[in-house]
Chain A
Amino acid sequence: MTESSGGASVLNSRVSSLNSPKMRVEGATRTFSDGAVVAFENLDLEVRPNETICIVGPSGCGKTTLLRCLGGLLQPSEGRVLLDGQPVTQPSPHVAMVFQHFGLFPWKTVYDNAAYGLKLRGLSRETWEIRLRPYLDLVGLSGFDQMYPYQLSGGMQQRAGLVRALALNPDVLLMDEPFGALDAQTRELLQEELLRILEQEQKTMVFITHSIDEAIVLGDRIAVLSARPGHIREILEVGLPRPRNIQAARATDRFSELRSHIWEELRPEAAAAVG
């Protein structure tokens, strides 16, 4: 909220969009229950344009709260969050979220759920079809789009959640442990589908997960968060080539190296969080 003159901030964002971060968290602290619970404290983070940054950390380290602040659903108690150099005070039209609980409306069909964001923008049904159909085909939802969420498996429901976000053609995808509620096989299928989609589209993605494997397979960088009050312990470059094949990526030395390194980082934190 420190930006004052409109002209200057437009100029700032022009200049900044060349090579500065897509999103930026500056000295952010978020507390709950009148300060009794500190989700994260004095946290700094940069999200580069078109990168996938995965955030891993022990349970209860404030990952999800951080993502809500990035999405403008929560405000940090101190510090600020910037998108393209502008403070985030409410959800932005250039950002879309995918939720761990899928967040589908049980009274809408899969199709209408996927079209939700488009409908809110007042776009016509013809436009819905043009925007949705390729994604529905891509994730294999096309035969199911007139069914209701309760009639589908969790994997199919989350595919609908993914299409709902992608259909808005956002610059930034915020993923809140989107595959955390799925079984291992389904999870891997969805990781593959997500990788395929991101190969075709330039998107910045912030991906919260508690799975180290998932973070390595999907991420360009990995931010390791400490237990509460959360702060960034370390940021790692994944350095695996793209386009990425999950099986091949798993077989690399780099994968095992990162995996054991992150686990060593997290082990005391996880123990602290549990104990």
Chain B
Amino acid sequence: MVQTSVGDATVSPTPGIDPSAARAAVIDRSRAVAAARRRREEAFRWFVRLLSLAVVLGVWELYGRSVNKALFAPPSAVVSAGFEMTRSGELWSYLRGSLVVLAYGFGIALVLGIPLGVAIARSRIVDYALNWYVDAFNSTPNVALVPLITLIFGFDVSAKVIVVVISAIFAVIVNTEQGVRNVDRRLLEVAHAFRSSERQLWTDVVIPSALPYIAAGLRLAVGRALVGMVVAEFFTSITGIGYLIVRYSNSFQPDHLLVPIVLVMALGIALTTITRQIEKRIAPWTGATED
């Protein structure tokens, strides 16, 4: 919050000192302080994270060693199973299929979801026509739909993509709609007062103001898309990471079974981190309170 007080303090300029240079120096100093604080916070964050990870892995290891090998496995066994599956190429060949499904499904959810959300926010007719369906799908566990989708679309890639789309798209729609609706009315009035055209209103005001909401929608959608991916593969697949889980579960090999599970979790963390970064990039002003 150091930066917020910059400005009015330096109004009576000292003779010989350029006031704007003095102000720029104040800004530089406060930025340096803020950067140092961020670095410290980042170091602390990693310290706590790694400590927590060590504790969890330690407890898991102790417990895993004390249980029947056919039912559960300690992290050390999972790691060696992971090495083995990676070396044989098994893991990647299954993962590749899943990632393709995830990418298509998520892409389609974005391409359809954002315009739909905008349309619902902008048009009363579209809103009235669709809001029940949005609420219905958004609150139904999509596992319930998977058997039906398999019946209609069979077991190939398109069925899985559809499951991922249905899992992810409503987070995108709902957030986009929220973002467009929540445009500050006062800023719309400003745009009006400065004689903005309708198109300029969208590019200058509505879209930038909705972007942070849309980005938050993407972050939610990534998680849901991952769930959709795995669930779809449970039901429909003889490929993909979900199938790998089913297979090793049926053959009582928990060390191999846990490899794809951990991998999906890691993927979840990675994708969420990426979308969070995008969020920050897009809307630096919403992070104003963090400084």
Contact = CB atoms under 8 A, between A and B. Distances in A.
A152 interface: yes
A144 B23 contact: yes
B189 A143 contact: no
Given A91-B195, A120-B196, A140-B11, A103 B4 contact: no
A249 B26 CA distance: 34
A96 B5 CA distance: 28
A105 B211 CA distance: 13
A210 interface: no
Interface string B150-171: 0000000000000000000000
A154 B178 CA distance: 28
Contacts of B193: 71, 73, 91, 96-97
A140 B19 contact: yes
A120 B11 contact: no
Contacts of B197: 120
A82 B189 CA distance: 21
Interface in A127-145: 140, 142-144
A73 B62 CA distance: 71
Contact of B8 (A96, A119, A156): A156
A143 B8 contact: no
Contacts of B186: 99, 101, 103
A101 B190 CA distance: 10
Contact of B4 (A106, A151, A189): A151
A186 to B, nearest CB: 5
Nearest to A93: B195
A147 interface: yes
A143 B20 contact: yes
Interface string B176-190: 000000000011011
- Which of A142, A152, A189 has most chain B Cβ within 10 Å? A152
A60 B208 CA distance: 33
B187 A151 contact: no
Given A91-B194, A103-B186, A144 B27 contact: yes
Interface in B194-242: 194-197, 200, 204-205, 208-209, 211
Contact of A153 (B7, B205, B208): B7
Given A101-B186, A140-B19, A116 B204 contact: yes
A115 to B, nearest CB: 11
Contacts of B6: 144, 151-153, 156
Interface in B58-73: none
Interface majority SS (helix, strand, loop, mixed), chain B: helix
Contact of A120 (B20, B195, B288): B195
Contacts, number: 88
Nearest to B9: A153
Given A120-B194, A153-B5, A155-B8, A143 B23 contact: yes
B8 A153 contact: yes
Interface in A87-105: 90-91, 93, 96-97, 99, 101, 103, 105
B194 A117 contact: yes
B246 to A, nearest CB: 47
B283 interface: yes
A150 B189 CA distance: 20
B11 A91 contact: no
A107 interface: yes
Nearest to A142: B20
A148 interface: yes
A105 B5 CA distance: 19
B109 to A, nearest CB: 25
A164 to B, nearest CB: 8
A108 to B, nearest CB: 8
B133 interface: no
Contacts of A120: 194-197, 200
Contact of A143 (B21, B196, B283): B21
Nearest to A183: B8
A116 B195 CA distance: 10
A2 interface: no
A149 B285 CA distance: 8
Interface string B1-22: 0011111100100000001110
Contact of B20 (A97, A140, A185): A140
B89 interface: no
A156 B7 contact: yes
Nearest to B18: A143
B24 A143 contact: yes
Given A107-B208, A120-B194, A140-B19, A155 B7 contact: yes
30 contacts: A73-B189, A73-B192, A73-B193, A96-B194, A99-B186, A99-B190, A101-B186, A103-B186, A103-B189, A105-B187, A116-B204, A120-B194, A140-B11, A140-B19, A140-B20, A140-B23, A143-B20, A143-B21, A143-B23, A147-B27, A149-B285, A150-B285, A151-B4, A151-B6, A152-B6, A153-B4, A153-B6, A153-B7, A153-B8, A155-B7
Interface of B: 3-8, 11, 19-21, 23-24, 27, 186-187, 189-190, 192-197, 200, 204-205, 208-209, 211, 283-285, 288
Q: Considering the complex of A and B, which 4 residue pairs feature the smallest CB-CB distances, nearest first?
A: A143-B20, A103-B190, A153-B7, A106-B285
